[in-house]
Structure 1
């Protein structure tokens, strides 16, 4: 069982420099506390989630850390040139000393991304799959020629070469077809913070159905997190963050003519690792029992950066020792 942090570069004070500094501090604190990994989200044209240039961010983080693994959660391949992505992946893998995990996705329900990158939403999934096929070959073969529906290359060799062979790769999805594709290719899967547990369980089952009963989805499960000595103290910090997130996402869905019930605040809080220390321990044990996750990556859910740092401290002291050293507790749930 591994634990990490999920960084979406939220910007509640409309101060980009401060937002970047806060997330860098969070990752350095996570490394000092012995967390296993840190994942960086990719968002475009959103001042509240200001992380469009994911590979420069991870390259910077590689320089200010030494042990923690760093991942993209997730690179939006339909909006990028796959040859350039392969070069970026190899570069950050070298800069990090082989600590990079490559997560990819087709992009969420954000119309501005498709509009400004001139990509039809109906083509995003097919473009992502084809781009990943080409990137995977470029990372693992010396010279690649490729002809697809969207991308082509002729005798391309990238430099530098990645240190890892292969670079661990994950697909952020719970869609059955995409999960089956990941299983057939041996890629892991990632589940987003708002995903209901039933959807995650179905994705794991679909993975094993496509890849065989022994197939390991290496599930990376993101969850909003804030724990305190009492549930009320945790909610006092988390509720404003969750409401802000929910309002932003509901607005996006309403603009598309959809309700988006998955972003209901009460449902988000219930699915999240929010509550007293005991509650969060029990929730983690429950998630492990139901999904068999490889890693849980925590999205600290406070609008106060110091509170988020303190929440990591509390996790390391009051939660992680109990969930990693007490398998009998999990088995009893």
Structure 2
């Protein structure tokens, strides 16, 4: 089983330079510890996330590491000309010597759509078209496309990715998205949250596997990364106490950015955000989320037991840890990384048949 790190790269104090420096240091440390991947989230116009062009950060990481795979989770396809998206991430694949993992999504924050001059009600159509174009440019020497938003004729991409088939994922919560992704030969990324409880995720995960089996995928191809907020300390009480302030900042910020948070009706297709993030306040506390297992903030023994059960139940092959949530302190993040790498990850690899680290 592979484990990775996920970054939004928040900057609660608006010191983006420090946020970048801490993140890059953590990624170098992650490679030393044996983490297999790092994933970068795209956001705009808020200190909730400070990577508006994650491909730039990915290129920086490529120059500071040698083995760790570098992914987007996610690149928001409706916001950019898909030719530019294909070019940017092809450069990352070349600069990293073929270490790119390309995760994609359609975005959800209304203020970001407004900044980019895009209509969220069109996001699904924009997303599907952009994904088809990016994959077509990567897979074909000369690519043509005639869609509602973009038209290309005999277009050649320079540079091309080093990987003949760049591993590509789609952020997914619904059967419709599973079917769309399977039809295009790409896989899904998912996570528990206020719109999808852990039990819902398990059901959806297994439902997605069935869709992929029916589409001709083999079991070994079903690598669906699951992302989760994670913080480990020597005791559960210490983990909760140490990360509570950062998590509260993160959740408060997130709730103010989702569709419907400004009192305006959510765009078509985004209605569940407004409902999912307007629940009882206790549901958003760190302790409430930890109790519901929407986050994994605990001691290494409990984390190992939880992860081994999850691995067995879902045949989980890739898990990503969101450890620097809310700008959590640099030393605390690195301590959590060390505990995961030394006391949790080896058991997961051994259970998956890979032997202890």
1:264 maps to which of 284, 288, 308: 284
Change (3 A) 1:193 1:58: farther
* Cα separation, 1, equivalents of 2:288 and 2:120: 28
* Cα separation, 2, equivalents of 1:298 and 1:247: 20
Equivalent position of 1:276 in the other structure: 299
Which is worse superposed, 312-321 or 257-266?
A: 257-266
**Native 8 Å contact 1:10 1:19 kept in 2:** yes
1:174-323 matches, within 5 Å, as: 174-192=173-191, 194=193, 195-212=196-213, 214=218, 216-253=221-258, 254-256=261-263, 258-259=274-275, 260-261=277-278, 264-265=284-285, 266-269=287-290, 270-300=293-323, 301=325, 303-323=328-348
Equivalent position of 2:26 in the other structure: 26
Give, in angstroms, the shift of residue 210 of structure 1.
2.6
* Cα separation, 2, equivalents of 1:191 and 1:244: 23
**Native 8 Å contact 1:228 1:314 kept in 2:** yes
Which is worse superposed, 72-81 or 228-237?
A: 228-237
* Cα separation, 1, equivalents of 2:131 and 2:185: 13
Aligned residues: 327
Equivalent position of 1:48 in the other structure: 48
Instruction: String of CA shifts for 1:41-88, please: whole Å, max 9, x gaps.
Output: 111111231111111110111011111000011000000000111111
Q: Does 1:58 align with 2:53?
A: no
Instruction: String of CA shifts for 1:2-55, please: whole Å, max 9, x gaps.
Output: 001001111122201001101111111100111100001111111231111111
Structure 1 residue ranges without an equivalent (≥5): 329-333
C-alpha RMSD of matched pairs (Å): 1.9
Equivalent position of 1:82 in the other structure: 82
* Cα separation, 2, equivalents of 1:116 and 1:93: 28
Instruction: String of CA shifts for 1:226-269, please: whole Å, max 9, x gaps.
Output: 11221111111222222112111222343245351577224432
**Native 8 Å contact 1:14 1:48 kept in 2:** no
Give, in angstroms, the shift of residue 273 of structure 1.
1.8
**Native 8 Å contact 1:76 1:104 kept in 2:** yes
TM-score by length of 2: 0.87
Give, in angstroms, the shift of residue 115 of structure 1.
0.8
Instruction: String of CA shifts for 1:149-171, please: whole Å, max 9, x gaps.
Output: 11111111011111101100000
1:73 partner SS: strand
TM-score by length of 1: 0.93
* Cα separation, 1, equivalents of 2:136 and 2:8: 29
Equivalent position of 1:114 in the other structure: 113
* Cα separation, 2, equivalents of 1:187 and 1:54: 20
Give, in angstroms, the shift of residue 188 of structure 1.
1.3
**Native 8 Å contact 1:200 1:291 kept in 2:** no
Structure 2 residue ranges without an equivalent (≥5): 265-273
* Cα separation, 1, equivalents of 2:235 and 2:190: 28
